[in-house]
Amino acid sequence: MKTYIATLNPVSIDNDEFTSDHFENRINSMKRIETMLEGKVTSETFSRFKKHLNLLTSLPQTMQKNIFTHTTFYYWCYHLFELYRQNDPKSLEAWMMQLHRFGIVEALKEGLLTESITVPVQNRRIIFPNVPFDIELNEDIKNNKFAVLTVENSSLSIRVGDLTSKVPITALIGGSVAHEMIKSHVVLQRTNIQVYGGEPFLDEYLNKWNRNFSQDSELVQIETISEAKKTHIENCLGLLERTWPEFVTEFRGNVQMIVPFVGGERHAFTTTVWPGAIFISDTFGKPIFTVERLVHEASHLRLNAIMSKDPLHLHGPDFTVPSPFRAGPRPVIGLYHGIFVFTRVAQAMIRIYEETGEELYAQRIPFLVNQVNEAVTTIETHNLKLTTLGRDLLEKIIIENKKIENICNKWNVNPLSKDELVKLGFDNND
């Protein structure tokens, strides 16, 4: 059994032992899915599924890796297993058709799309996961749910019902030809990160999320953000890159999508079923708030990757303890996450304050340190059972938190209280 070493410090995805086997795992998952689906759906559906899977696995490995390790593909697999367990063949077959949206553009680049293929249409758009644009169809298609794609000479023919449109292949594979049917997504500068809420899988996920968690206002994803808000996020990442470049390297490697939403009381969140995605409220204020959101949520993604190999603790979800990060008792996993992510936020803010001298960053840190100290005390007083890796990582966090505390004590800065932070607009919850 492999022994892992976890660190609080940012890690480049190129050197990350916790994510290095994700591609291999997804390939193995697809083999398992192929085996379990045979005989569970119609032969026609299974044949189409297998043909498209063969198309995906015939792509160059770099392209396969980009597809199979993308957060949208992970969610497709996750929900497929859900539907399989529910024994709902009709819904299962409809979801299997969604696989056809993957790999189309890559197959066009490689000249491998030699047969017509039927793909789902959502809101008059053909949406390709992991690709920073959609194809917007004519308003006359009305309620058609599928389009047939066929390569004809140098164009992609798109037939919906009795209507046919054509898009130059060069406009789809990164050439210089623009086309009115191609609608680009917002992509953050110097990254491959899309700020995009138009992905159909998000509808399915957030509908479920609202049923399970929404108490007042429901969360609704929005397709895109304004140019000013894009620039705001880029400026915040730029500030982090100047002060903590290692973190931004990790961020670029682990974050694939930022999903803007409206509604609800949350400022931002992540989920294990969308690894690589940060959900963030379309309300942006001072840079410090966005910096904290980005560091906080990306650190959740990092810890989720670590915990995919080692649970760090030995308690079930029903075992709860007091938490300084949110009202009421919480599972141990939530306590550990809070310790990890708020320590990283403090690490970011100490660097930014030392670079910029902006006092608000320094005034925020003592509250974060105190929260982490309180959470560590909870672990110790409740004799929580940690794995060897969980204990080792916690000891590193305790040492780092003490260093931050000592540095803050040398500053001539008045820390802000919880009430003062809330009044300014900080989110003190995990």
C-alpha 400/C-alpha 346 separation (Å) is 10
Q: Is residue 216 within 8 Å of residue 264, measured between CB atoms?
A: yes
C-alpha 213/C-alpha 36 separation (Å) is 31
Where do runs of H (alpha helix) occur along 69-216?
A: 71-86, 89-97, 104-110, 169-172, 200-213
Where do runs of H (alpha helix) occur along 98-158?
A: 104-110
End-to-end CA distance of the chain: 33
pLDDT digits (tens, 9 = 90+) for 350-388: 999 999 999 999 999 999 999 999 999 999 999 999 999
Nearby residues of 93 by Cβ (< 8 Å), 6 or more positions away: 41, 42, 45
Q: Find residue 146's DSSP bridge partners.
A: 120
**pLDDT, position 339:** 98
Nearby residues of 226 by Cβ (< 8 Å), 6 or more positions away: none
pLDDT digits (tens, 9 = 90+) for 248-275: 999 999 999 999 999 888 899 999 999 9
Amino acid (1-letter code) at residue 174? G
Residue 289 sits at φ, ψ, to 5 deg, of -65, -45
**pLDDT, position 305:** 95
Compute the C-alpha angle 381/387/390, nearest 5°.
Answer: 75
**pLDDT, position 263:** 86
Mean predicted lDDT score pLDDT of the chain: 93
pLDDT digits (tens, 9 = 90+) for 65-106: 999 999 999 999 999 999 999 998 999 999 999 999 999 999
Give helix 22-37 / helix 71-86 axis angle, nearest 10°. Answer: 30
**pLDDT, position 390:** 97
Report CA 100 to chain centroid distance, whole Å.
21
In angstroms, what CA-CA distances link 103 with 111, 186, 361?
Answer: 12, 20, 44
**pLDDT, position 34:** 92
Q: Is residue 119 within 8 Å of residue 110, measured between CB atoms?
A: no
C-alpha 315/C-alpha 133 separation (Å) is 43
Kindly indicate the confidence band of residue 177, based on its pLDDT and cuts at 50, 70 and 90. Answer: low
Kindly indicate the confidence band of residue 133, based on its pLDDT and cuts at 50, 70 and 90. Answer: very high
Q: Is residue 48 within 8 Å of residue 42, measured between CB atoms?
A: no
**pLDDT, position 352:** 98
**pLDDT, position 161:** 87
Is it the case that residue 214 has pLDDT exceeding 80? no
Is it the case that residue 310 has pLDDT exceeding 90? yes
- Counted residue by residue, the chain has a size of 430
Biggest CA-to-CA distance, the chain? 74
In angstroms, what CA-CA distances link 429 with 40, 267, 374, 416?
Answer: 44, 10, 14, 16
DSSP 8-state symbol, 30: H
Does residue 174 or residue 31 have the better pLDDT?
31
Is it the case that residue 212 has pLDDT exceeding 90? no
pLDDT digits (tens, 9 = 90+) for 405-419: 999 999 989 999 999
**pLDDT, position 209:** 86
Is it the case that residue 1 has pLDDT exceeding 70? no
- Closest by CA to 340, choosing from 75, 49, 9, is 9
Does residue 217 or residue 133 have the better pLDDT?
133
- Closest by CA to 376, choosing from 357, 361, 397, is 397
C-alpha 276/C-alpha 300 separation (Å) is 10
Nearby residues of 108 by Cβ (< 8 Å), 6 or more positions away: 151, 156, 169, 172, 173
**pLDDT, position 159:** 94
C-alpha 61/C-alpha 378 separation (Å) is 46
Average pLDDT, integer, range 133-137: 93
Lookup: tokens for 267:
């400022």
Please give the share of the chain, as a percent, with pLDDT higher than 90: 83
Give helix 22-37 / helix 43-57 axis angle, nearest 10°. Answer: 160
Whole-structure pTM value: 0.95
